[in-house]
Amino acid sequence: MENSSGLDKSSSNDNGNSNNTGVPLSDVVSDCINRWFKATLKEAKAGDINMQVLVSQMYYSGYGIPKDEQKGRIWMTRASRTRSWVWKVSNKQPGYNASDSDSDSDSDELKGDS
């Protein structure tokens, strides 16, 4: 049944809201992060050093998975067998890598001092 606006009235409840039962955004985001972790873990197990670092960072920070610093150290140790620089990023948020620079934030702090 259509109302004067051309919308199907049968799909609305008494408040005029749609009866669509969507998934909460938090559930969608959680599912995406979970799938991202699983895909990253698969690549890390296959030997991709960058993914090993990312898995380590995810464990260290608890991003998308329960925080587990021991597993984070295990993955960082595995990655460091080939590249020692990985320890520089072990305590950074997932996605941060050694080519990222903290100097921008340092220079902003220095500007405030002058």
Mean pLDDT (whole number) for 41-53: 93
Using the predicted structure, report yes or no on whether residue 104 has a pLDDT greater than 70: no
The C-alpha angle with vertex 78 and arms to 74 and 82, in degrees rounded to 5, equals 155
Using the predicted structure, report yes or no on whether residue 91 has a pLDDT greater than 80: no
- Domain spans of the chain, in order of start: 42-97
- In percent, the amount of the chain with pLDDT more than 90 equals 41
pTM of whole model > 0.75? Answer: no
DSSP structural state of residue 12: B
Whether residue 9 contacts residue 2, with contact meaning beta carbons closer than 8 Å, is answered with: yes
Mean pLDDT (whole number) for 44-53: 92
With CA atoms as reference, report the closest residue to 57 among 31, 38, 76.
76
Using the predicted structure, report yes or no on whether residue 6 has a pLDDT greater than 60: no
